[in-house]
């Protein structure tokens, strides 16, 4: 059964010109791209996205970071898309993320760690609704679907 996940390429990924490299990893893994846009996130969107962290000491710095530059918002879908996305990203702390993961290969920071990915199918649905209108998502069958899964 197909599942969706939200993946954000945060401002550091865009500024460092890593968007193509990171998108390619999701494509090569076999997930299908269902939505993609470049967004300058307003504070209101960042507040909703990071609402779970409100009141924590790092909350304001998260908001400042996410609103500091363009973000590539994407919806990927496929078998176990949430787990697959999180495995591709690696641990939150780039210094501790294993080589071969996005953060393990390109990040050293905990906050400026290039990517965000939904942590559960339930949160994926909520996050996708924050970043995308239903008509911005495209349904299709991949020609390689029977080989990828």
140 in any annotated domain: no
31 in any annotated domain: yes
Q: Which of 116, 117, 131, 132 is catalytic?
A: 116
* Three-point CA angle 64, 54, 18, nearest 5°: 40
Which residues span the domain enclosing 53?
A: 2-119
Question: Is 53 an annotated catalytic residue?
Answer: no
Burial degree of 132 (CB within 10 A; 0-12, 13-18, 19+) = buried
For the chain (length 149 residues), average pLDDT per consecutive 10? 94 98 97 98 97 94 96 97 98 96 96 96 98 96 85
Q: What local confidence, expressed as pLDDT, does residue 144 receive?
A: 86
How many Cα atoms occupy the beta-carbon half-sphere of 45 within 13 Å?
Answer: 17
Q: What local confidence, expressed as pLDDT, does residue 146 receive?
A: 83
124 in any annotated domain: no
| CA-wise closest residue to 71 among 18, 110, 26 | 18
pTM > 0.85: yes or no: yes
Q: What local confidence, expressed as pLDDT, does residue 111 receive?
A: 85
As for how many domains the chain has, the answer is 1
Q: What local confidence, expressed as pLDDT, does residue 149 receive?
A: 74
| CA-wise closest residue to 48 among 149, 126, 138, 144 | 126
Question: What is the spatial distance between Cα 107 and Cα 113, in angstroms, rounded to a whole number?
Answer: 5
Q: What local confidence, expressed as pLDDT, does residue 147 receive?
A: 86
Residue 11 backbone phi and psi in degrees, to 5: -55, -30
Please report, for the domain that includes residue 88, its CATH number.
Answer: 3.30.70.141
């Amino acid at each position: 059964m197909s599942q969706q996940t939200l993946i954000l390429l945060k401002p550091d990924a865009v500024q460092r010109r890593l968007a193509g490299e990171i998108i390619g990893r999701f494509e090569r893994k076999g997930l299908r791209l269902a939505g993609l846009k470049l967004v300058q996130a307003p504070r209101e969107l960042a507040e909703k996205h990071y609402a779970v962290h409100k009141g924590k000491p790092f909350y304001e710095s998260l908001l400042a970071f996410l609103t500091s530059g363009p973000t590539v918002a994407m919806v990927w879908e496929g078998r176990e898309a949430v787990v697959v996305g999180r495995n591709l990203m690696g641990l939150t702390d780039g210094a501790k993320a294993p080589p071969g993961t996005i953060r393990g290969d390109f990040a050293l920071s905990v906050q400026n760690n290039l990517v965000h990915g939904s942590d559960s199918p339930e949160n994926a649905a909520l996050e996708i609704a924050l970043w995308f209108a239903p008509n911005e998502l495209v349904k299709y069958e991949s020609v390689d679907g029977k080989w990828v899964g």
